[in-house]
Amino acid sequence: MSSAALAAGKPSAQKTAATKDTDRDGMPDKWETANGLNPKKNDARADKDRDGLTNKAEYKAGTNARNADTDRDGMTDGWEVSFRLNPRKNDAAADPDEDGLSNVEEFALGYEPRNDDSDDNGVVDGDEDADEDGLTNLEDLQLGYDPEEADSDDNGVSDADEDLDDDGLTNAQEFLLGDDPEAADSDDDGVADADEDHDGDGVSDLDEFADGTDPLDGDDSSAGDGGSDDDGTDDSGDDNGTGDDDGSNDGSGSGSDDSTSGMAVSVRVSAAGSGPLQVTDWR
């Protein structure tokens, strides 16, 4: 056999060095050495950087066995691999499950980046309220708060009750109204958010919150307070609690002094021993 044929039948020295595995642990000596492992010791099941991936899994994934976050995107290699993300590509801002939370936010909150309702409770992860402060996870993040801390700045006021723009409305109230908690005049119309009247009932949003009525319902119900009564009329001009402003006789004996001015009111009067008389009273 010619020397050429013999050479063709033998693996090259370079290939042999690249694949040599002295300890037979499934990881080439060269790779182990580059990653600070011992090529003479079977350490395939060890996890040198404690990222959730064994050394052998790091080799197969092409990640760095000495760096828990190979791509430096804020998520550990093991977590990314377990949820089919790319541990060698910065995909922190991606949102594969479209729940409003980025991958890195899901990682921080302990959610699953490919499941929009990680705990299967019927509430999308972004709409959950992890710290039970009255703001959703997304709302907390929008305002720069910690979704896992009800009072992010430790000032004794919950994040929901803060008033970032000092307009008189709390953050939670602004979100309810669709306003921007960081802008005192969210729509730039020259009227502060607190003085707006979203439901057009003549009562400002701030006053409605103070009175316990709904600033998004011009005819909401507020039993017993003489305010909103859910009777189908504008709350601002409704005085139905007095019995005098409804256009009908209120039984007081003197008739009602209301919206009948200038109208003919017919009253049937029966005198003792006589038939009924028809009397027209022009108010």
Is the overall model pTM greater than 0.85, yes or no?
no
Instruction: Tell me which residue of 177, 209, 208 sits closest to 193, measured CA to CA.
Output: 177
Question: What is the tens place of the pLDDT at every residue in 219-277?
Answer: 875 544 444 555 555 555 555 444 454 544 554 444 445 444 444 444 454 444 445 54
Residue 221 phi, psi (nearest 5): -95, 130
Looking at per-residue pLDDT, the higher value among 7 and 63 belongs to 63
Between CA 23 and CA 39 the distance in angstroms is: 6
Positive or negative CA dihedral for 29, 31, 33, 37? negative
Map residue 264 onto helix, strand or coil: strand
* HSE-up of residue 221 (Cα within 13 Å, Cβ side): 3
Rounded Cα distance, 203 and 229, in Å: 14
Assess contact for 236 and 245: CB atoms under 8 A. no
What are the residue ranges spanned by the domains of the chain? 23-85, 93-162, 166-219
Q: How far apart are CA 261 and CA 50, in angstroms?
A: 86
Cα separation, 88 vs 156, in Å, equals 42
Direct distance between the N- and C-terminal alpha carbons of the chain, in angstroms, rounded to an integer? 131
Q: Is it the case that residue 35 has pLDDT exceeding 70?
A: yes
Exposed/middle/buried for residue 221 (C-beta within 10 Å: 0-12, 13-18, 19+): middle
Residue-level pLDDT at 2 = 58
Phi then psi dihedrals of residue 282, to 5 deg: -90, 115
pLDDT of residue 265: 47
pLDDT at 14: 62
Between 92 and 254, where is the model more confident?
Answer: 92
Angle at 272 between CA 269 and CA 273, to 5 degrees: 115
Mean pLDDT of all residues belonging to the chain: 84
pLDDT digits (tens, 9 = 90+) for 68-88: 999 999 999 999 999 999 999
